[in-house]
A and B are shown apart, each in its own frame.
Chain A
Amino acid sequence: MTTLTEQPEKGFRLSQLIYDTRYRSLTIQVVATILLVSIIYWLIANTIANLAALGKEFDFGFLSSRAGYDINQTLIEYDNSMSHGRAALVGIANTLLVAFLGCIMATIIGVIVGVLRLSKNWVVARLMAVYVEGFRNVPLLLWIILIFALMTESTPQPRDFREGGSASMILWDSVAITNRGIFVPSPVFHSGATLFGIITLLGIVAAYVYRKKSLQKQLLTGEPPVSLWIVMVSLVAGLAAVFVLQGFLLPGEQSFNPAITLNSPELGGFNFTGGLQLRNSLIALWFALSLYTGAFIAEIVRAGILSVSKGQTEAAFALGLRPNRTMNLVILPQALRVIIPPLISQFLNLTKNSSLAIAVGYMDVRATLGGITINQTGRELEGMLLLGSFYLLISLLISSGMNFYNNSVKLKER
């Protein structure tokens, strides 16, 4: 018996690495890896060599040395005798504050404008289009500076508030709008404040549970639930009653001693003192970031709504749902699935864009760690690496948080 086909040779030839599809992809991967590793190695070696030539070494010790500079807006305790690391944390807190405020306001603006741009009212729809195109197509830095300039140039100086000056406080002398910021009353907590806080929390939980129960009941019995308005109004009224009652019970000089009082700003010396100062730099940055990102979000929302087929609306109307219930119960839940993923990247953009803060003197992490600290200590590489890792970390956190939310609203396939 003879074999018809000859067994192929077992040996391995080098050319197989390229011509044999079994090995080719492996070869390509190995070569690519070697190339990548050597490029990275070269970059690192070059950096180390250059640093050595300058006589600098790679060292994060500067973070624990004395910062020596002052920061105007400090959410955590800080003074100039604390370390550069602490100053970086103050900057991080400031970045997070403006990013947080910005994301909230941008979302609100975006949703409202996105919905209104689809309005049947021609004027409203056009106005929204002008806003969206105006903000989307002009660089953010210009908006930040423009808003800041408007706020500093068009508002009075604190000294104009002096006796006989041209400016005066508004809202029963409790709020002062100046070219350095808006001064508002700040709460002062007295002995009963903790108790009141606990009661408030309990009240909110109770209201939430009550409303939830009544919604469940609706599913079972069809009985209409208590309206959200009634729940909210009774919550507020109840808390106000507790607040007043507590004020009369608490010991103190007067008969009425509320647990929380307000500290209004007052003009003293050069500036207003007391109260809370919302600096122009914060407001300008916050508004500019929100308006700019809000324009993008509006387009995302509009696209999301348009992605839900018209038949859904018509079906809902046919069932007798009113337009706003149609929006809330039928359209938005479906639109959200389209909206959330691009919304995540808008939040990331907003957070990263907040690093333009120094243009208006807002002391974010780019201005403290990435600006003054680097400049005073000469640790550019270390500082920039830290700064980069911070933004990376915060972006990853935001996107994982939003992905978590996305998973909870996305279409669940059974």
Chain B
Amino acid sequence: MKKTVLLGALTVAGLAATAASAATLDDVRARGKLNCGVSTGLPGFSNPDANGNWQGFDVDFCRALAGAVFGDGSAVEFVPLTTQTRFTALSSGEIDVLARNTTWTYSRDTDLKLDFIGVNYYDGQGFMVPKSLGVSSAKDLDGATVCIQTGTTTELNLADFFRANNISYEPVPIETNAEAQQQYLAGACDVYTTDASGLAATRATFEAPADHVLLPEIISKEPLGPAVRHGDNEWADIARWTLNALISAEELGVTSANVAELAAAPTTNPEVNRLLGTEGELGAMMGLDAKWAVNAIAAGGNYGEIFERNIGENTPIGLARGLNAQWTEGGLIYSAPVR
């Protein structure tokens, strides 16, 4: 009898422990900083600079989220994760948000229980080969040795692509981008395949980038976006609307330079006023400060600024906006209305 009571109590304690961890926002506030999962190092997306400060497109999303929650974009702890450890880190609560060029797929959303809060980069899988190999199409890669990061969508696409084209290859499984780069440059594989953005970013760090070409085929859709744990809708909303706020800000012409000025007093544009909290109570609806979006934008600029600074055409990575232009410019980047 006594034993059952004891065990019962333990069960309740166990359940209570889990119930508490469901409110991510409270946990983050109590901790005083956001734990953000990033890559182990992909220039332009998430990479520590010479002083050990994390820089990049995904990093800036985390800074914006920290800005929205704390009013301080530097209240972030970055947790470098390999492709294999990222999902476990998120579901175990080690990180609050995963911003690590992760593709939104059906099974990750449903079976792995991640919630993707949007897409911050529309990508696709490409192939990079040394120019000296004289290959001009991915279909000519029969028998090639291919470096591929394990635990990725790209690994599965690769298998499908070669199968569909009835050609063979030898996969060289690799854990991190840095290793892949080293193996590829040493000639241990003929081809490196991953997201085209990742290839461009990797190539930009080569000594002689011009000696390597990206093949014309893009063999998959890789919508990359930040993800949170399934089951905490309030936290997912905060992350989703932080991304939307950055996108809306670009559309509305709100930048890191003019955000303070625009937020000082209501402007003539009600959309800007709602976003910047000079009109309405939008922040409170998510349990955040009225200036949540102002702080998010102040942390690193709007979506366009973040893009241009980290991976845009004037950086060594040199990616064009392409699909990632605002919908008004013919791209796919589109925020739901902030109202």
Contact = CB atoms under 8 A, between A and B. Distances in A.
Interface stretch (A34-42, A131-139, A298-306, A333-341): A34-42
B210 interface: no
B143 A358 contact: no
B164 to A, nearest CB: 11
B231 A54 contact: yes
B98 to A, nearest CB: 13
Given A54-B230, A55-B113, A180-B188, A376 B151 contact: yes
Contact of A270 (B143, B175, B229, B231): B143
Contacts of B155: 69-70, 372
B6 A71 contact: no
A20 to B, nearest CB: 22
A387 B160 CA distance: 27
Interface residues of B, number: 54
A363 interface: yes
A358 B144 contact: no
A205 interface: no
Contact of B14 (A46, A271, A371, A380): A46
Given A45-B14, A380-B88, A152 B183 contact: yes
Interface in B188-228: 188-190
A407 interface: no
A98 interface: no
A7 to B, nearest CB: 34
A367 B173 contact: yes
A358 B159 contact: no
A55 B231 contact: yes
A309 interface: no
A363 B155 CA distance: 14
Contacts of B133: 159
Contact of A271 (B83, B170, B231): B170
A378 B111 contact: yes
A378 B150 CA distance: 14
Nearest to A269: B143
Contacts of A180: 145, 170, 188-189
Contacts of B21: 53
B10 A72 contact: no
B105 to A, nearest CB: 10
A70 B170 CA distance: 8
User: Counting chain B CB atoms within 10 Å of each CB, which of A269, A359, A376 scores highest?
Assistant: A376
B260 interface: no
Given A68-B156, A180-B145, A361-B173, A49 B14 contact: yes
B7 interface: yes
A56 B113 contact: yes
B11 interface: yes
A69 B84 CA distance: 14
A378 B112 contact: yes
A319 B144 CA distance: 66
The A contact surface, by secondary structure, is: helix
A157 B187 contact: yes
Contacts of B142: 269-270
Contacts of A70: 155, 158-159, 162, 169, 171
Nearest to A69: B155
A358 B230 contact: no
Interface in A272-324: 273, 280
A236 B217 CA distance: 57
B10 A367 contact: no
B70 interface: no
B156 A55 contact: no
Contact of B83 (A69, A71, A268, A375): A375
Contacts of A380: 88, 91
Given A38-B7, A273-B143, A372-B151, A54 B229 contact: yes
B22 interface: yes
B174 interface: yes
A363 B162 CA distance: 20
B170 to A, nearest CB: 5
Interface in B17-72: 17-19, 21-22
Contact of B150 (A34, A371, A377): A371
Interface in A8-48: 34, 38, 41-42, 45-46
A80 B156 CA distance: 9
A72 B132 CA distance: 25
Interface in A368-401: 371-372, 374-378, 380
Contact of B15 (A49, A179, A375): A49
Given A72-B173, A269-B143, A270-B145, A49 B186 contact: no
Contacts of A372: 84, 150-151, 155, 173
Interface string A47-72: 00110011110000000000011111
Nearest to B169: A70
A373 to B, nearest CB: 9
A273 to B, nearest CB: 7
18 contacts: A38-B10, A41-B10, A42-B14, A45-B10, A49-B11, A53-B21, A68-B156, A68-B160, A72-B170, A72-B171, A152-B183, A179-B186, A269-B144, A270-B143, A271-B145, A273-B143, A361-B172, A378-B111
A-B CB proximity, top 7 nearest: A375-B151, A378-B112, A46-B14, A157-B187, A80-B159, A269-B143, A270-B144
